[in-house]
Structure 1
Amino acid sequence: MNIAVLSGKGGTGKTTVSTNLALALKSNYIDCDVEEPNGFIFLKPKIDKTEQVMVEYPFIDDEKCTSCGKCVSVCQFNALAKVKNDIMLFEKLCHGCGACEIVCEYDALTYKKRELGNIESGTVRDISCSRGILNISEPMAVPVIRDLLKNLPKGINLIDCPPGTSCNVVTALKYANGAILVTEPSEFGLHDLKMAVELVKMYNIPFGIVINKDDGKNNIIKKYCKDEEIGLMGVIPYSRSTAILYSNGEVLYDDFDHKILFDELSKEVKEVLKWN
């Protein structure tokens, strides 16, 4: 079973929930927040394998190219531009669709490969961990996420999604059988949670909500869950002890009180997601 952990906005505690819940469920952990993968900071797995993520980009043979501009016209991603009598390539904008190669009548376009990022995998406490890392200055994270998720191990996989509701999240969500939405009791948290809920509903998969930094009151998130009849899986109290453990890069699950909290949360996850 693949469980996506996502949030409408950054900073809600998505990775905190993902890493500790992975230990509670004894599941595999996959960090798809490839622009800032920080789950390994807490889990600290021993990295056994590193793989490059390669993407294709067009290569223009200047001796064959007539600068007719057909490749520029067909490119939907503005990776090619005609400047006077020359064709300019912006390789980092290329999605590798192959349209430019198809329309070129002079065989002036071929494809080469370049490194976009890499994937690291390892183990800790008998669970498998993997993460994607996008190279600095690269604008496209989707190919790294796709490579990271294409051969998921058997068993329970906890997918730590990127923040927000962009195409990066959509790519990760395509592999999910269930979802956990992490939010915080604030107006911003509620606003972005609503967008995440709509996104998950599009995929018609079971989901529930976890409130991080909960104030213990009948806040706007709890009211929203009640009004919309959405399962509230659990809450993580807003406490100084949690903040200290987190700021020191420690695993909350190693603390007795937090272990009880995440063990209870794991039971609720199984119930809400109709565990099989």
Structure 2
Amino acid sequence: MKIAVLSGKGGTGKTTVATNIAAVSGGIYADCDVEEPNGFIFLKPENVKSRKVMVDVPVIDDDKCTLCGRCANACKFNALGISKTGVMLFEKLCHSCGACSLACPEGAISEAKRELGNVETGIFRGNKCISGILNVGEPIAVPIIKNVKADLKKTIDDDGIVIYDCPPGTACTAVASVKDADFALLVTEPTKFGLHDLDMAVQLLKGMKKPFAIIVNRSQNEEDMISDYANKNGIDIIGRIPFDREIAVLYSQGKLVSDDEKYYCIFKDIFERSVNICKEVSK
């Protein structure tokens, strides 16, 4: 079972939920928030290993190139430009699709590897955990996420639990992270900004036809704007994390909140309710 933890905006407590659910469930934690991965700060895995993620970029043979412009016309991402003196490559816009090399009638385009980031794997309390890290300044994160999931496929069986810590927002990185999930948890906060971005994430998951429920972080009471929204739209709220100074202190110290017995049951209940809902949906 794959549970995706996401949010419409950053700073709602998504990683807090994801890491603590991974801890109480004994599942594999996968940090797909590759632009700002910080799950390992809390899990503190052992035996961490890292491998580079490489992508293909075109290399132009100036001796063969006739400046016909077909490569630039074929590129849907504007990664190639034609000037009077040669072909200009904007490598950070390249999506490694290979269309330019296919379009070139002179066979003037080959491919080379370029480093995009890396994937780290480690062991947390006997279970594997994995994190993708996009290099600073890189605009394209999806290949890192795909590599995280490729590593997961090598180790997980059909009965295993995976917790995806997804990127915030509703862009292509969130879509790539949620794509193969069985169930999603939307983490939000009882503020107008939180509600606005929650609705965007709800629309995304509805469009992807994914079952989901809401987690309210920094909750002060049961009746708030999030509960009104959930009731109006028929969405379950299956967990509330209290607006508690003790939680903030644990977080600031890089500790798992669920290791405190006072809060353990909150995350255990969220996980068990997620599993039950997923089972009901799959019937």
| Offset, 1:157 | 0.2
Secondary structure of 2:279's counterpart equals coil
Aligned counterparts of 1:205 and 1:140: Cα–Cα separation in 2: 25
CA distance in 1, matches of 2:74, 2:47: 42
| 1:216 and 2:201 correspond | no
Answer with 27-36 or 97-106: which moved more: 97-106
Q: What is the aligned length?
A: 276
Contact 1:57 1:91 in 2 (8 A): yes
Which residue of 253, 266, 278 maps to 1:248?
253
Partner SS for 1:162:
coil
Retained in 1: the 8 A contact 2:9–2:197?
yes
Separation (CA, whole Å) in 2 of partners of 1:274 and 1:215? 30
Code of the residue aligned with 1:145 in structure 2: it is I
Could you tell me which residue of structure 2 aligns to residue 141 of structure 1? 141
1:267 corresponds in structure 2 to 272
Contact map agreement 1:184 1:211 (CA 8 A) in 2: yes
2:189 match: 184
Give the Å deviation of 1:120. 0.5
196-205 or 173-182, which deviates more: 196-205
Partner letter of residue 238 of structure 1? F
Q: Work out the CA distance in 2 between the residues paired with 1:100 and 1:128.
A: 39
Of 224-233 and 82-91, deviating more is 82-91
Partner-residue secondary structure (3-state), 1:150: helix
Give the equivalent residue in structure 1 for 2:200.
Answer: 195
> What residue in structure 1 maps to residue 87 of structure 2?
87
- Alpha-carbon distance in 2 for matches of 1:48, 1:8: 30
Q: Shift in Å at residue 217 of structure 1?
A: 4.4
- Alpha-carbon distance in structure 1 between the residues aligned to 2:151 and 2:120: 13
Query: What is the deviation of 1:151?
Result: 4.1
Does residue 106 (structure 1) correspond to residue 106 (structure 2)? The answer is yes
Give, as a single letter, the amino acid of the residue that structure 1 aligns with 2:83.
Answer: V
Partner of 1:97: 97
Identity of matched residues, %: 50
Q: Can you give the 5+ residue segments of structure 1 that lack an aligned partner in the other structure?
A: none
Question: Is the partner of 2:129 in helix, strand or coil?
Answer: strand
Residue type at the aligned position of 2:96 = G
Per-residue displacement from partner, 1:82-129 (whole Å, max 9, x unpaired)?
122321011111111111111111111011111111100011112210
Does the 8 A contact of 1:231 with 1:272 survive in 2? no
Who is 2:126 aligned against?
126
Moved segments of 4+, more than 3 Å:
none
Rounded to whole Å, the distance in 2 between the matches of 1:47 and 1:185 is 39
The equivalent of 1:28 in structure 2 is 28
- C-alpha deviations, 1:182-227, integer Å up to 9, x for none? 0000111111111111111122222110000002141100111111
Deviation at 1:266, TM superposition (A): 2.1
Paired residue for 1:238? 243
Worse-matched range after superposition: 25-34 or 99-108: 99-108
For residues 58 and 240 of structure 2, the distance between their equivalents in structure 1, rounded to whole angstroms, comes to 49
How far apart, CA to CA, are the structure 1 residues paired with 2:254 and 2:147?
A: 28
State the match for 2:2 in structure 1: 2
RMSD value, Cα: 1.3
SS at match of 1:116: strand
Structure 2 unpaired stretches of 5+: none
C-alpha distance in 2 between matches for 1:175 and 1:61: 40
1:160 and 2:165 correspond:
yes
Whole-angstrom distance in 2 between the partners of 1:274 and 1:193: 24
Question: 1:208 touches 1:273 (CA, 8 Å); kept in 2?
Answer: no
The answer to whether the 8 Å contact 2:47/2:123 transfers is yes
DSSP-derived class of the 1:84 partner: coil
AA of the residue aligned to 1:188:
F
- In structure 2, C-alpha distance between the alignment counterparts of 1:47 and 1:148, rounded to whole Å: 17
Amino acid at match of 2:128: S
Q: Which amino acid aligns with 2:206?
A: K
Amino acid at match of 1:209: I
Structure 1 residues 47-56 or 248-257, which shifts more? Answer: 47-56
Which range moved further: 203-212 or 45-54? 45-54
